[in-house]
Amino acid sequence: MCFKNLPIEFDSQGKAQLKEGVSNPYTYQVKSLHAEEDQLRTLLAKNGHIKSVDFDPVTRVAGALAFHTVADLKEGKILSANSMATLFRGYEVILKGRDPRDAIFISSRACGVCGGVHATVAAHAMEMAFDIKPPPLGIVVRNMMLALEYLYDHPLHLFLLAGPDYSQAIVEQSNPEIMEKAWRTPAPGANIHGYANMGKLMEDMNPLTGSLYLEALHMTRVAREAYVLLGAKYPHPETIVPGGVSVTITLQTFNEVYARLIKFFDYSKKAAAIWDDLTNFFYDANSRYQEVGSRPMNIIDTGVWDDPYAYDASYKNCNEWGERRWATPGVIIQGDLVTTRLQDINIGVEEFVDHSFYEQWNSHRFKTDPAGNPLSPYHAWNKETIPKPQGQNWKERYTWDTAPRWDRMSVEAGAYARLLITAMAKKLPHNRFIESTGTSLKIQLPRATKPALELEWHVPKTWNAFERNRARAYAIGYTAMVCMDNWQHGMDMLKSGETAVSTKFEIPKKGTHIGAGFWGAGRGFLTHHLVADNGVISNYQINTPSTINASPRDPFGTPGPYEQAVMNTPILEKYSGPENFKGIDVLRAIRSFDPCMPCTTHIHVDGSDRVVSREVNTCACGVD
């Protein structure tokens, strides 16, 4: 059915099984990177300059992710790209051998940008493993927390991180002709966002001084205030417990959250109008902007926001409760939705470490998942984390990141994945504000200080950096209305006296229990896989959206999503000589993914002695 590369087929009941007669169904041959690499080196060596590169600070590798690129400026092409994670902290190793109850608070610390999601997904994994079902209000509170987390995350990305790349300050340098045109181009969304022309709009996106920049910073704080009313603190919340939440709910809680949530109704209208105008303006100015950050529409998402009356934490029923989420789980391959079932998503994911600083493990403990579907030895429930630090070598191993693949294909994760899959799937359960049409999502935004508005986001024809950002802008409205819907559910529960927020639980001292959490981070797809033996964690595996997006080449030679997107990016920037080349198009491509690791690009300019290096920030409070 949905798998093309894995040796799995489905019987007439739709049950997965291994194809018959395949010996060693999961083995593979690692495609060598030597030839590719040697060719590049010859290219670089031929120009004779590479040894005399000025190794000024520009060559440094900063942050936890570095990006290494070879560019041919004459052709305006990127020849090669390598994405490398430069940090290992060992969370999975630390969790091994501990009490399962520690997983929530410890794994939350895996990410300080979206720690709240890790805490929740860890709770899900425990709930599945130990059969704990949270009460409806507990689920609704989790949903609201997650939505509020996104409402901080999306504006942060759109206006503080990615935004400056489209601001007057940057565009004036990289493409003066576009800025000049901007001043002459009226902005179609003027009646919503209030900017008469594109130039003014882009000016207000300038870092630290632009009013759109400052407004976004303010809105991130509004969302975080609402978040900590439920989560206690941010980024690492304290209120997620196995079996629900530990929040003392009163009307004050709901009222204070509401007072902040409604500020996002108008903001959603504005953000969507701004990014619509920006996207269309750039496409208009040069249609090749559609190629920036482009890659095949191969998308994966776990879905998020559980139906409080459907979620029962069981693996057995996860296909059903998964499809009842406010964001539908699913996989899109080449623009087609191939599944919306969590079990297919789960068994299709394998993690490869052939080009990473880890050793291959050899065990294959779980041949099937708890529902009897075949499991690969490279699946998270079977994977082991065996770190092996070593020098980076582009031909062999170059990153602390692994290469997760679904059905052995490179897929990408992101906030936009929620919109794409939910819009295509038409599985959205009945709700008050959002409708999935198969090709679009319709979002009803209520009147606040601005009139009510129906936003409609359409599945785009091409998949690139601009569409990622545009979708993320619409995701603000989508998320705000999911939060509103859940808020109303919560109020209804208070009305009917369903006020329990947690379920008591015990950790069994005997036997093997396995569980998984599937839940979206701000940047999409997130899973935790837990194996507990006799009440102790014997394996814990975390797979994040940035693990997927920043992944290196897989054993089949396919680059990860960042790598692919960068290699497809044309260089459209105007510069007087290689020494003034900034690499803005490459940065736009990477930032459109909302990388949640500090990320640096390195561009070797082919045919010159220049190495360009630029930060790709995940956060931008320091602008000096």
Partner 1 sequence: MTIETATKGDSITAPAGNISDESTGLTPHKEHTEQPGHQEGAQIAQFKGPLEKVYAFWLAGMSCDGCSIAVLGATAPPVEALLGGTIPGLPKVILAHPVLSVEAGKDFVAMYHKAWEGKLDAPYVIIYEGSLADETLAAATGGYWSCMGTSGIGDPYEDSVVTTAEWCKRLAPGAAASIAIGTCATWGGIPSAYGNPTGAMSMMDFLGKDYRSTLGLPVINIPGCSPVGDNFTETVATVLMFLQGMGPLPEFDELGRPAWLFKETVHRQCNRAGYYEEGTFASEYGQKECLVEIGCWGPVVQCNITSRGAINHMGGCMNTGAICIGCTMPGFPDKFAPFYSAAPGSDVSGAASRMVGSFIRPLRRITQRSQNRETRWDRNGEVPSGWGHPSEPSTSDKIAHYFYEKLQFSGSVKPGRTKPEAKYKGNYEVPGVVAGESDPSQKPTP
Out of 12, 27, 51, 191, the residue judged to bind partner 1 by CB under 8 A: 51
Q: What Å distances lie between residue 411 and 61, 444, 525, CA to CA?
A: 26, 30, 11
Distance CA 546, CA 243 (A): 27
Q: What Å distances lie between residue 511 and 129, 318, 530, 533, 536, CA to CA?
A: 11, 22, 14, 6, 10
Binding mask 22-41 for partner 1 (x = CB under 8 A): -------------------x
132's CB contacts (< 8 A; 6+ apart) are 126, 242, 243, 313, 503, 505
| Least distance (Å) between residue 243 CB and partner 1 | 8
Binding residues among 503-542 for partner 1 as defined by CB under 8 A: 504
| Least distance (Å) between residue 111 CB and partner 1 | 5
| Least distance (Å) between residue 147 CB and partner 1 | 16
Q: Which range in 247-255, 269-277, 425-433, 515-523 contacts partner 1 by CB under 8 A?
A: 247-255
Out of 16, 33, 111, 146, the residue judged to bind partner 1 by CB under 8 A: 111
The reply to whether 52 sits near partner 1 by the rule CB under 8 A is no
| Least distance (Å) between residue 428 CB and partner 1 | 29
Q: Which range in 104-112, 278-286, 297-305, 541-549 contacts partner 1 by CB under 8 A?
A: 104-112
Looking at the Cβ atoms of 298 and 600, the one nearer to partner 1 is 600
Out of 225, 291, 396, 498, the residue judged to bind partner 1 by CB under 8 A: 225
Binding residues among 174-213 for partner 1 as defined by CB under 8 A: 207-208
Beta bridge partners of 241: 244
Out of 43, 50, 262, 371, the residue judged to bind partner 1 by CB under 8 A: 50
The reply to whether 112 sits near partner 1 by the rule CB under 8 A is yes
The reply to whether 543 sits near partner 1 by the rule CB under 8 A is no
The reply to whether 73 sits near partner 1 by the rule CB under 8 A is no
Q: Which range in 26-34, 229-237, 278-286, 448-456 contacts partner 1 by CB under 8 A?
A: 229-237
Structure letter (DSSP) for residue 617: -
Looking at the Cβ atoms of 98 and 442, the one nearer to partner 1 is 98
Q: Report how far apart the first and last C-alpha atoms of the chain are (Å, whole number).
A: 53
Binding residues among 298-327 for partner 1 as defined by CB under 8 A: none
The reply to whether 166 sits near partner 1 by the rule CB under 8 A is no
Looking at the Cβ atoms of 5 and 32, the one nearer to partner 1 is 32
Distance CA 472, CA 278 (A): 13
Tell me if the bond preceding 559 is cis, omega within 30° of 0.
no
Contact yes or no for 477/418 (Cβ under 8 A): no
Looking at the Cβ atoms of 231 and 560, the one nearer to partner 1 is 231
* H-run or E-run covering 65: strand 65-72
Binding residues among 558-597 for partner 1 as defined by CB under 8 A: 596
| Least distance (Å) between residue 493 CB and partner 1 | 13
Binding residues among 251-290 for partner 1 as defined by CB under 8 A: 256
The reply to whether 143 sits near partner 1 by the rule CB under 8 A is no
Q: What Å distances lie between residue 500 and 78, 121, 350, 580, CA to CA?
A: 56, 20, 38, 61
The reply to whether 612 sits near partner 1 by the rule CB under 8 A is yes
Looking at the Cβ atoms of 247 and 409, the one nearer to partner 1 is 247
| Least distance (Å) between residue 393 CB and partner 1 | 7
Please spell the DSSP secondary structure of 390-417, one letter per residue. ----TTS--BS--EEEETTB--B--HHH
Sort 85 into a burial class: Cβ within 10 Å, 0-12 / 13-18 / 19+. Answer: buried
347's CB contacts (< 8 A; 6+ apart) are 8, 16, 369, 373, 374, 375, 376, 379
Binding residues among 442-461 for partner 1 as defined by CB under 8 A: none
| Least distance (Å) between residue 260 CB and partner 1 | 9
| Least distance (Å) between residue 361 CB and partner 1 | 15
Looking at the Cβ atoms of 391 and 511, the one nearer to partner 1 is 391
Quote the tokens at residue 51: 């040894």
Q: How does strand 8-10 pair with strand 244-245?
A: unpaired
Contact yes or no for 536/98 (Cβ under 8 A): yes
Distance CA 105, CA 473 (A): 31
The reply to whether 94 sits near partner 1 by the rule CB under 8 A is yes
| Least distance (Å) between residue 617 CB and partner 1 | 6
φ and ψ at residue 434, rounded to 5 degrees = -125, 135
The reply to whether 43 sits near partner 1 by the rule CB under 8 A is no
φ and ψ at residue 435, rounded to 5 degrees = -130, 135
Binding residues among 375-394 for partner 1 as defined by CB under 8 A: 387-394
The reply to whether 494 sits near partner 1 by the rule CB under 8 A is no
The reply to whether 86 sits near partner 1 by the rule CB under 8 A is yes
Out of 97, 176, 186, 372, the residue judged to bind partner 1 by CB under 8 A: 97
Beta bridge partners of 521: 524
Out of 28, 31, 43, 58, the residue judged to bind partner 1 by CB under 8 A: 58
Strands (E), 191-326: 240-241, 244-245, 299-301
Distance CA 159, CA 168 (A): 13
The reply to whether 231 sits near partner 1 by the rule CB under 8 A is yes
| Least distance (Å) between residue 48 CB and partner 1 | 14
* H-run or E-run covering 129: helix 115-130
